Amino acid sequence: MVSTLTTREACVQADAADALASFRERFSLPQGIIYLDGNSLGALPKAAGERARDVIDREWGTDLIASWNTNDWFDLPVRIGAKLAKLLGGETGACVATDTTSINVFKALGAALEIQRERHPERRVIVSERENFPTDLYMVEGMIEFLDRGYELRLIDDSLTAEQAIGDDTAVVLLTQVNYRSGRQWNVNELTALAHERGALIIWDLCHSAGAVPIALDEARADFAVGCTYKYLNGGPGSPAFIWVAERHVSRARQPLSGWWGHKSPFEMAVSFEPVDGARRFLTGTQPIISLATMEVGLDIALEVDEQALREKSLALTSLFIELVESRIAGDALTLITPREASERGSHVSFVHAEGFSVMKALIARGVIGDYREPGVLRFGVTPLYLGYADIWDAVEALRLVLETEEWKAPEFQVRGAVT
Ligand SMILES: *Cc1c(COP(=O)(O)O)cnc(C)c1O
């Protein structure tokens, strides 16, 4: 995709012609900053404050415990899950909004391994990728140790392709559609087909793709999917994640965290567990109602957006970012690690710089908020709902100044906090 935006004025004009520009008004962002971290914590939808006040003051404060029925608290994770399934092109499957992505990886993996124990009892390999977001790998490690049945984790990396890694010994494949560091994107349809061809089940982690790239879980014939809602879905800090299960697996899928919220009749207080039919069986315990309610506001905005238009703008902005860095920033201090090929990238752009941490700190001090990931990676999340072309121009201009003036060398930009 070749961009014709070579001046700031041209960027301003592109913003004026942008059909998605009006979504910017739906978000509350501080004046004077350019927020390029929506892939880590999405911005605050203006309507979320009012929804939070209502759920706190009226539903909790006034209606109290009756709200489980009268304000539909009991069904909230399932009702929101159905909206997520729609967004993810997985309407035939079962989906609930609940827990964290880490926990949902564990639940999906447990359910998938159990299905495979019936089908292919001898298979003991779980395939993932070395570059995966670490918590996904940690959860697999935890599951392997806990089960103590001789499972092993095999990682796709530079020396082992997916084609080589997924074999007739593979029970389950766990991949993340868009890589958190590089922004590289797997082809969900192709990898799902490959896993199935080899007799494996596949779990897709959609953390960096839900709300950012078009997803079609039903069409891909995915088995399970998980992901978070506080990134591109603007659900708020720690908002509940989701777990999606293909219709063909729902009735036999047993997740390991068999708590009372997944029970057939939770209020019968029966001694033993019997899973309820449908999506609800992927719940475990009492749900965070306030977080669910405020998260739904961001999700509703995402459901209003035409996903092809969103994808086109996302690619136009990420392409522009790459082109401007390469044409306006002298020297070779920055190395692009995001694929140039549009179809291979998600909605963020990453560059490596030897002093990436300090460069990002200096950039943030100039009001351009991206983030830093080891090793040396400057990561810029591009959220088409509240960013425009001129924002990209201004962000690259600030980056140029940080590098040309070497202001990142200042002592205050060398100190690390607990969260980077
Ligand atoms: C952000 C992210 C997570 C986060 O997991 P939590 O349990 O919500 O903290 C997990 N996996 C991937 C791929 C991510 O990008």
Question: Minimal CA–CA distance to 86: which of 235, 204, 203, 218?
Answer: 218
| pLDDT tens readout for residues 73-93 | 999 999 999 999 999 999 999
Catalytic residues: 133, 205, 230-231, 379
Residues having CB closer than 6 A to ligand 1 are 100-102, 133, 135-136, 176, 180, 205, 207-208, 228, 241
Q: How far is the CA of 228 from the centre of ligand 1 (A)?
A: 7
- Taking CA atoms only, the protein residue closest to ligand 1 atom 4 is 101
**Residue 1: is its pLDDT beyond 80?**
no
Q: How far is the CA of 109 from the centre of ligand 1 (A)?
A: 15
**Residue 374: is its pLDDT beyond 50?**
yes
3-state secondary structure at position 345? strand
| pLDDT tens readout for residues 204-261 | 999 999 999 999 999 999 999 999 999 999 999 999 999 999 999 999 999 999 999 9
The DSSP element (H or E) to which 79 belongs, if any, is helix 76-87
Q: How far is the CA of 107 from the centre of ligand 1 (A)?
A: 14
What type of residue sits at position 373? R
Mean pLDDT of the chain: 97
Q: How far is the CA of 241 from the centre of ligand 1 (A)?
A: 9
- Residue 136 CA: which ligand 1 atom is closest? 11
C-alpha span between 383 and 402 (Å, rounded): 23
Domains of the chain are 2-44+306-413 (3.90.1150.10), 74-304 (3.40.640.10)
Compute the CA torsion angle 362, 365, 369, 373 (nearest 10 deg): 30
Q: How far is the CA of 97 from the centre of ligand 1 (A)?
A: 14
Substitution site in 40, 128, 133, 242 for ligand 1 pocket (most atoms within 8 Å of beta carbon)? 133
Substitution site in 207, 208, 209, 373 for ligand 1 pocket (most atoms within 8 Å of beta carbon)? 207
CB contact set of 372 (below 8 Å; sequence gap of 6+) = 356, 357, 360, 361, 378, 379, 420
Cβ atoms of residues 40 and 371 within 8 Å: yes
- Taking CA atoms only, the protein residue closest to ligand 1 atom 14 is 207
Cβ atoms of residues 387 and 43 within 8 Å: no
Substitution site in 135, 136, 291 for ligand 1 pocket (most atoms within 8 Å of beta carbon)? 135
Per-residue pLDDT at 419:
81
| pLDDT tens readout for residues 92-150 | 999 999 999 999 999 999 999 999 999 999 999 999 999 999 999 999 999 999 999 99
| pLDDT tens readout for residues 24-81 | 999 999 999 999 999 999 999 999 999 999 999 999 999 999 999 999 999 999 999 9
**Residue 162: is its pLDDT beyond 70?**
yes
3-state secondary structure at position 82? helix
Per-residue pLDDT at 101:
98
